[in-house]
Amino acid sequence: MTYHFFEQDLTSLHQALQAGDVTAEALTKGAFENIKASDPDLEAFVRTHEESALAQARAVDEKGDFSHFLAGIPMAMKDNIATAGLETTAASRILQGFKPVYDATVTKRLKDAGAVITGKANMDEFAMGGSSETSYYKQTKNAWDLTKVPGGSSGGSAAAVAAGQVPYALGSDTGGSIRQPAAFNGIVGMKPTYGRVSRFGLFAMASSMDQIGPLTRTVKDNALVLSAIAGFDEHDATSVDLPATDFTAKMGQSIAGLRIAVPKEYFQEGIDPVVASQVRAAIAQLKDLGAQVDEVSLPHTHYGVAAYYVLMAAEASSNLQRYDGIRYGYRAPEAKTLEEVYRETRSTGFGPEVKRRIMLGTYSLSAGAYDAFFKKAAQVRTLIIQDFDQVFEKYDLIVGPTTPTQPYGIGEEIGDPKAMYLGDALTIPVNLAGLPAMSINAGFNAGLPIGLQLIGKAFDEATLYQVAAAFEQENDFTKALPDIAAKY
Amino acid sequence: MAASISKEEVAHVADLAKLNFSDQELEHYTGQLQEIVGICEKLAAVDTTGVAPTYSVTPNVNHLRADEPVDWQQQQALLDQAPESAAGLIKVPAILKQED
């Protein structure tokens, strides 16, 4: 029996496995059939691992323990999350051939649950980019239109799920890298509260903002996957020790009386009128469902991009110092002295966007620029946090667009870093403040999806899922299938 | 605040970051950094008098645990990842120059 992932969710797959209607091996083979049929066009995977995935699936079948809701179900892992023994490169040449000797905590949690890792999803190199165009290896396409970018940096994770190759994927989000590709591919993407999910084994970009989160086709699937990966981890000192949470707990509850804030600034930052009107229509639906909706101001939104790029680049340039060609990955073969190993490995191992951010970060941390850039940006970060705090005194959540535009053509913006950076204007403030935020599909225009962003109070993901589920229920966007689905 | 970044400054920063650039690349990165720094200079317009900087949003400073050594039993696996190894060590090119 073949399972079409568009017609199933994690709950129905779980029930079928428990009932013995399907085996983990059959599901996994189904995922690889999908991948083989669509990935030559989509290029969502940097690499697949059919052998180890089938071995994992058979092991679950033999054990017969399907008690965990993810047991026996195939998934895609972003290529910057460590998987022991499976090449993990963050889509960079500098990590070519690198096989981690340990599992990231999220990998371990999924493996312990019986999940099946089908392969590593393509991404922007070291998660630096919003179009998956900076990958050293491949150009992932948008699942709805192969001439458009899938977003990024978790573009492979989003495209794989949207195209029905696998039921879910993990991504990482430092400035929008889960929410923006989720918006561009019309699926659900959650950036959890900073500290909710362990970062151990996530290749660091900006450590004060990085978070791992799920990309799924439905809201409930998303809440389930987050429940599986969240929790304290002694290997990540910034992970937070909170009791286990059932993120589906409030789903199905009425949103009547919930107080929703709509920041006026989120409709100003170069926003495409088509995106604005679709998101306004979505907000009107939430109002019809009984939510109290008011316009508010987050006055420092305008400075988010600048503060983010200074702080992110500073942290990234420090984190990327470790890539020196000595202990793992790529070493420039022609280097003759130790100094040449460092310089030539880094110069030929990193791509242009990574170098740009290393340069910006090194510059903003250098003696002459530190106060004017790094410290100033950290102060503006405080003001952005205070903006959110004030709104959350009176409101339960904030709603607006995820991105200023719809997906653009491949190659259109890659030569213009400034335009790319401004595309992150609506997702960045959340990372600066460490808040949870998700993107869900608000509908289509010209065959391409538009993302609705929900931002919550710290550690209040459950309310975001409640509102997202209510919105999803009112619409039938998850029934729409991309053309690529005709391949299987 | 620096109004512009010179090619010399960019060369210095590249040196600190251990990146080699050709003269042409240096020109390219100078222009791009200029543009990005231009965006970041908007920050100067914000009054941050008396505002404490935020470097981390978590109140957690440290999670303390018992200081017990753990042997991860990974020496060979780690060495296998090195571009070059010999005699149980990671091999790198000569660090000291031989005096003629």
On the 0-12 / 13-18 / 19+ scale of CB atoms within 10 A, A134 is buried
3-state secondary structure of B89: strand
- Running DSSP on this structure, what letter comes out for residue A118? E
Of the ranges A142-151, A387-396, B52-61, which one carries the lowest mean pLDDT score?
B52-61
> Which three-class secondary structure string do you get for A224-280?
HHHHHHECCCCCCCCCCCCCCCCCCCCCCCCCCCCEEEEEHHHHCCCCCHHHHHHHH
DSSP H or E segment with residue B67: none
What residues of chain B lie within 8 A of the CB of A195, using their CB? 58, 60
Question: Per-residue pLDDT for B96 more than 90?
Answer: no
The share of chain A scoring above pLDDT 70, in percent, equals 99
Confidence bin at B3 (pLDDT 50/70/90): low
User: Measured between alpha carbons, how far is A138 from A411 in angstroms, rounded to an integer?
Assistant: 13
Mean pLDDT of A48-68: 98
pTM score above 0.90: yes
Mean pLDDT of A459-478: 97
Q: Domain residues of chain A, as ranges?
A: 10-255+466-487
CA distance B42 to chain A (A): 7
In this structure, how many other beta carbons lie within 10 angstroms of the beta carbon of residue A370? Answer: 14
Of the ranges A235-239, A385-389, A447-451, which one carries the lowest mean pLDDT score?
A235-239
What residues of chain B lie within 8 A of the CB of A98, using their CB? 81
Cα B25 from chain centre? 19
Cis peptide before A153 (omega within 30 of 0): yes
Tokens (6 digits) for A431 = 């990372």
Tokens (6 digits) for B37 = 């720094």
Chain A within 8 Å of B32 (Cβ-Cβ)? yes
What residues of chain A lie within 8 A of the CB of B15, using their CB? none
pLDDT at A421: 81
Chain A within 8 Å of B35 (Cβ-Cβ)? yes
pLDDT per residue as tens digits for the range B13-58: 999 999 999 999 999 999 988 988 888 888 999 999 999 999 999 8
CB contact under 8 A, A237 and B62: yes
One-letter identity of residue A137: Y
pLDDT per residue as tens digits for the range A327-340: 999 999 999 999 99
pLDDT at B40: 84
Of B32, B40, B77, the CB nearest to A417: B32
pLDDT per residue as tens digits for the range A412-458: 988 777 777 888 999 999 999 999 999 999 999 999 999 999 999 99
User: Measured between alpha carbons, how far is A453 from A394 in angstroms, rounded to an integer?
Assistant: 19
Which residues make Cβ contacts (< 8 Å) with residue A278, sequence separation at least 6? A442, A443, A445, A450
- Running DSSP on this structure, what letter comes out for residue A486? G
Q: Domain residues of chain B, as ranges?
A: 7-45
User: Measured between alpha carbons, how far is A381 from A374 in angstroms, rounded to an integer?
Assistant: 11
Question: Per-residue pLDDT for A63 more than 60?
Answer: yes
Question: What is the bridge-based pairing of β-strands A74-78 and A448-456?
Answer: unpaired
pLDDT at B66: 87
The topology (CATH level 3) of B7-45 is: Histone, subunit A (1.10.20)
CB contact under 8 A, A372 and B1: yes
Mutate to test the interface with B, among A359, A392, A459 (most CBs of B within 10 A): A359
What residues of chain B lie within 8 A of the CB of A437, using their CB? none
Of the ranges A18-22, A173-177, A401-405, B93-97, which one carries the lowest mean pLDDT score?
B93-97
3-state secondary structure of A257: coil
Catalytic residue list of A: 78, 153, 177
Question: Per-residue pLDDT for A485 more than 70?
Answer: yes
Looking at 2.40.50.140, 1.10.287.3510, 3.90.1300.10, 3.20.10.10, the CATH number of the domain A10-255+466-487 comes to: 3.90.1300.10
CA-nearest of A234, A192, A226, A227 to A209 is A192
Q: What is the mean pLDDT of chain B?
A: 88
